[in-house]
Structure 1
């Protein structure tokens, strides 16, 4: 080990096939010494552990202590290409059909091209009837998707499926019995908030020797890496360098973290997240109670800057409805649950069995939820909250939502490649749920602007003139979409604050039609990016809020 704490390694002693074991088991060959090999270890070199290492290396060893951070750093530096390749294409090689690396499969390209040619030909030969048919079909999809969300949320409102863990159950846990827990935090150009990140994660109530916090920093992001060093993180913080590679996305970085993670359990946090201190212990209690098929526990998300402006208020309404009603409704009906992008707690072995995250999918969380469902796994919800920063600026909001919607489009296309295979795995009912939620959501948003314009025109232009072009039934269907669809979503958003006690938010729900127009703008950007740059990760800037976590009102937590 040199003066900086980095390990000096004879790379001729290293085996690329053992690279993940080096990191996960916390040992690394350093040098040959007479008839022994010097091996760095991050945990106590017990007789049994030393014997396992000697059996693996086929030689006697002399162990020397090292930090886990130093071992991870050395392993990543020794095998950057191997880690990058596995992180980017591990899922694709295991099952190309489940990877979004190709936007469309060959059958999808052929089928899509034929359908497009048929529509174009129909528009040329029978323009008005074709347009009327397309509007009618779009209206049916729009209304069906909206009614599905309403029905699921209303059903979820009758249940409280959150696994409530009592304080005495948390207090009863003994530190010596706790498993190793890995926290992955992918960051990119987050120098503005990493100091706050170190402080927030430093509050986690978990024994330091069993908690590894892996901050995943892109190779070229020296600014963030320097900011982390200035924040003087504790020893259990590991700054892991994500080797250069494509696509440069959050899930690719997380896959690197998954390869080096030691924990029996693993959670993802974003750079601005502030989880409740006892969240990890609560999750362990919830896992212990749950059926073995439950491999993910989702903590609730909330925003500390909900009062900042209209946009953050709408964000908070949306999250309240989603986490308190939609997730409960999906769970009680045993329907596929798209995961949230943060505060997902996994059984690490099951996550590896699933192949980790798809680095080519820009909503890797939603995709992973569908893949987990296909294998018969379930998602639980634990009564702990992670506070986040809601996007408060319009341009950043449109960029963030366009990425989310593009990811839903990718997920829908990926799992529609072999629909009968998916139906065989999850059943027809769950497949239809997937189609309406994952496929229907972007289609709904794409329809908001055209339907709004058509509805406005039908009021401004004399009825006789409009009815000449469009049959009254189609116009009434569009009006039904506009009134009923928006009305239902306003109602659902009004329901959102009740479980959280944030009643001051209720009135803002009437702005949901305008909020959906913003989503519609984002959906067209998403569609364009799906065609032009499908794997581009639209980064969301954090640290833009004037509000601080310490100023949050108790009702929001």
Structure 2
């Protein structure tokens, strides 16, 4: 049973609320509102008062202790005896919201808890024996803070190396395994020997291979676009289905919001979460912040949103990545479902409810529901327009095509809704992979799970700053390289788990794009050189069949790639972006620049996470101003 579902009796909660009212800590309208929502939300009065911000958790649980005639313990001022909490039971402490606190002179142990119920008493009897314990009430977050502080090193180790210790072949901690190193040296040696002994035949073979690679990649993208345009991947959730939900039956929902040096967008984040149409007493919102990011931590504290948000401080350690931070925070998650949001995200208000309906409608093996992503600042500049075209094609054509073929779907980095028990069972994210969600999508497919997409959109900020775009895109490309290398450590096993179509789809969708964007500049340069300085000798390396394939790739395939972008704009009714679809070749040049940076980092600094700069758009500044007005109003 998860922490937030452990509700003490309604009578005790009402009595505690009356004590708060007696002491002038809440008003009669506050209590009336909470009483009115108690049945509708399926939460007790105290949880509602806290969620609404009418009182603090500390004040409420202090009043609850008085209502239950039990002592109240402030764990931050009087922490537990060092020898009582057991590291092996730390997850139990979180699940039941308790921790052994002090041993009395008679040998009995006082257990600090936010609740006294059947599950807590059963654990206490099993742990200390009948009559060997007594209870004290502590505040809602005190157990969480105490467990974080006391077992920080162990939890950090699990966050960093949990997947690697259990399934090392699925972790990108090592970039190359011995078999891959040997394979690279064999291929390079054969190439060098071929150039030495039979240069013409070798170069013909290389040109044929590259031409066929491009042709196969294009054919696969064409197939995905054709299938995706006619395939509905969304789990369609209607307005009526959302309205039919009972708030009392909704599960606790965990939101993980990892941030690093982004204090300026915090008001926007608070505003977006508050707009979510979900019982606030059932939201478990974690601000996942680096322990050394004092500016963001202090800014989060100053917001005064403690009733909704909980700050999880991630210890300083390497790798310093988003997946490691999420793994660390995952231990403290107490929801049935979990969603990742970025700090500047603006999800549609009913997205969580739609995700709940989608999970209930989907097949049991659907472990993740991905919301669609798009941008609220697409008109900022050329870069944001190209980014919007790219995402529109991704979600409207490519992902549905992958789903139709049962090819692993690489998840986006935000708005992924997970069944939390499945997520934990899979080992969560690989802290060493810099596109952790793409890797997780592949692992899910290998384990027999599927990814669905719900008809709800999260609007985020398109990266419109060129240096920041290169950083972000090089990280994505490096992550795809890592993901391909990890899952190709055992190609036979991968083939058996994915099947013929899934295996080759993985090659062309995960492995192919990084390779082609690396080859593009070489081919472009070769083509330009032959135009300026015609060299008949070059034609010897392009037999007729290879030449025809190369011309097809150059003329037909590239034109169709441009056409795909234009069609994506039409489907989204972004008619103003149609002319920009013609400029995609310039966007491809930027991809190649990012790809060479990614390759360099893969070799020399594989786990380095380049931070994406957020909060730069005019739309973000306007949204921040509106959020400030709403707060002040």
Fold agreement, TM-score > 0.5: yes
Match for residue 89 of structure 2? Answer: 18
Instruction: Give the whole-Å Cα distance in 2 for the aligned partners of 1:306 and 1:293.
Output: 35
Deviations 1:144-189 (A, max 9, x none): 1122112112101012221221122112211221111111111111
Match for residue 612 of structure 2? Answer: 540
Map 1:339-354 → 2, pairs under 5 A: 339-354=411-426
**Correspondence for 1:258 among 330, 334, 338:** 330
Match for residue 411 of structure 1? Answer: 483
Instruction: Give the whole-Å Cα distance in 1 for the aligned partners of 2:450 and 2:620.
Output: 35
**Correspondence for 1:387 among 420, 436, 459:** 459
Is the CA contact 2:237–2:357 (under 8 Å) kept in the aligned structure 1? Answer: yes
Q: Which has the higher contact order (CA 8 A, sep 6+)?
A: 1
What is the CA distance between 1:364 and its match in structure 2?
0.7
Describe the shift of the 1:450–1:175 C-alpha distance in structure 2 as closer, same or farther (beyond 3 A): same
Deviations 1:28-59 (A, max 9, x none): 233234554333334x4224433334434544
Match for residue 555 of structure 1? Answer: none
**Correspondence for 1:450 among 497, 517, 522:** 522
Which runs of 5 or more residues in structure 1 are unaligned? 553-557
**Correspondence for 1:66 among 139, 148, 155:** 139
Instruction: Give the whole-Å Cα distance in 1 for the aligned partners of 2:541 and 2:358.
Output: 59
Instruction: Give the whole-Å Cα distance in 2 for the aligned partners of 1:7 and 1:314.
Output: 56
What is the CA distance between 1:420 and its match in structure 2?
0.6
What is the CA distance between 1:470 and its match in structure 2?
4.7
Aligned residues: 550
Match for residue 497 of structure 1? Answer: 569
**Correspondence for 2:369 among 284, 287, 297:** 297
Q: Secondary structure at 1:260's aligned position in 2?
A: coil
What is the CA distance between 1:354 and its match in structure 2?
0.8
Select the structure of larger CA radius of gyration. Answer: 2
Deviations 1:488-507 (A, max 9, x none): 22121112133432221122
Map 1:271-282 → 2, pairs under 5 A: 271-282=343-354
Instruction: Give the whole-Å Cα distance in 2 for the aligned partners of 1:259 and 1:92.
Output: 17
Describe the shift of the 1:544–1:107 C-alpha distance in structure 2 as closer, same or farther (beyond 3 A): same
Map 1:171-210 → 2, pairs under 5 A: 171-210=243-282
TM-score (norm 2): 0.83
Is the CA contact 1:185–1:215 (under 8 Å) kept in the aligned structure 2? Answer: yes
Match for residue 602 of structure 2? Answer: 530
TM-score (norm 1): 0.94
**Correspondence for 2:396 among 320, 324, 344:** 324
Match for residue 44 of structure 2? Answer: none
- Is residue 52 from structure 1 mapped to residue 110 from structure 2 by the alignment? no
Which runs of 5 or more residues in structure 2 are unaligned? 1-71, 625-633
Q: Secondary structure at 2:536's aligned position in 1?
A: helix
**Correspondence for 1:169 among 241, 247, 265:** 241
What is the CA distance between 1:3 and its match in structure 2?
8.0
Match for residue 433 of structure 1? Answer: 505
Range 49-58 or range 351-360, more displaced: 49-58
Q: Secondary structure at 1:291's aligned position in 2?
A: coil
Match for residue 400 of structure 1? Answer: 472
Describe the shift of the 1:74–1:227 C-alpha distance in structure 2 as closer, same or farther (beyond 3 A): same
Match for residue 337 of structure 1? Answer: 409
**Correspondence for 2:216 among 131, 134, 144:** 144
Q: What is the RMSD of the two structures over their aligned residues, measured on CA atoms?
A: 2.1
- Is residue 102 from structure 1 mapped to residue 182 from structure 2 by the alignment? no
Range 117-126 or range 353-362, more displaced: 117-126
Instruction: Give the whole-Å Cα distance in 1 for the aligned partners of 2:589 and 2:438.
Output: 23
Instruction: Give the whole-Å Cα distance in 2 for the aligned partners of 1:316 and 1:324.
Output: 12
Describe the shift of the 1:12–1:413 C-alpha distance in structure 2 as closer, same or farther (beyond 3 A): same
